[in-house]
Amino acid sequence: MTVTTDRNHLETEVFDELTRILARTDERVRMELIDGKLRSKVVPDGDHGRIIEWLLRICMQSRPELFLYPDQGLKVQAYRSGRARPDGSLAPSGAFVGQGEWADPGPVLMAVEVTSYDSDTDARGRTEKPRAYAETGIPVYLLIDRDTCEVTVYSEPDGVRYESARTVPFGKTVVLPGPVDITLETEQLKDWVR
């Protein structure tokens, strides 16, 4: 489904109303608005959840002043007219207090997506999300791709795209650059793919 209008604020208002209605009728559906397109995000499976748990533990051990917020909605893209719900948003502890469902992405150091086994994964996780997060200025985007068994670390956003993207297969060590500064040993990710 695509929702487009001539005015971005109307798109956001329509989207916000749709998400309120859907939240009351179906807890399994999570919606996003990226590039003016309404996207549904499938409820994660157990392996998806285990990957987020794994990453959350590493982040807390490496950087205890930060927290990996699962599913925090963020205002993304130019003029914050988009809405994304990353699988994880790494930010200082307490960064989203009082902000509601769709928070300002300013404090976010890293957005995280773990691919799902659905038809939108390619467009959403590999194309739309990197662009949206780069436009928003989120310093690092981590894509854990269960289809390809690879981890891609995007960094150096220039306001349009990430200038750097490094992809490694599961099993290799990957360094998340500053301001994140965390090293991931990705061997365990092999256990959580189909």
CATH number of the CATH domain containing 186: 3.90.1570.10
Q: Name the residue range of residue 140's domain.
A: 44-192
Q: Residue type for 172, please?
A: K
* Residue matched to tokens 């748990």: 53
Q: How far apart are CA 35 and CA 50, in angstroms?
A: 30
Provide the domain count of the chain: 1
Residue 112 counted as domain residue: yes
Residue 160 counted as domain residue: yes
Residue 32 counted as domain residue: no
Residue 129 counted as domain residue: yes
126-130: which pairs have CB atoms within 8 A and are 24 or more residues apart? 128/34, 128/35, 128/37, 128/39, 129/34, 129/84, 129/86, 130/154, 130/161, 130/162, 130/165
pLDDT tens series, the chain, 194 aa: 444 444 444 356 665 565 555 555 555 556 565 666 656 566 667 899 999 999 999 999 999 999 999 989 999 976 556 888 999 999 999 999 999 888 999 999 999 999 987 666 656 677 788 999 999 999 999 999 999 999 999 999 999 999 999 999 999 999 999 999 999 999 999 999 98
Residue 132 counted as domain residue: yes
Fill in the DSSP letter of residue 163. E
Q: Rounded to two decimals, what is the model's pTM?
A: 0.81
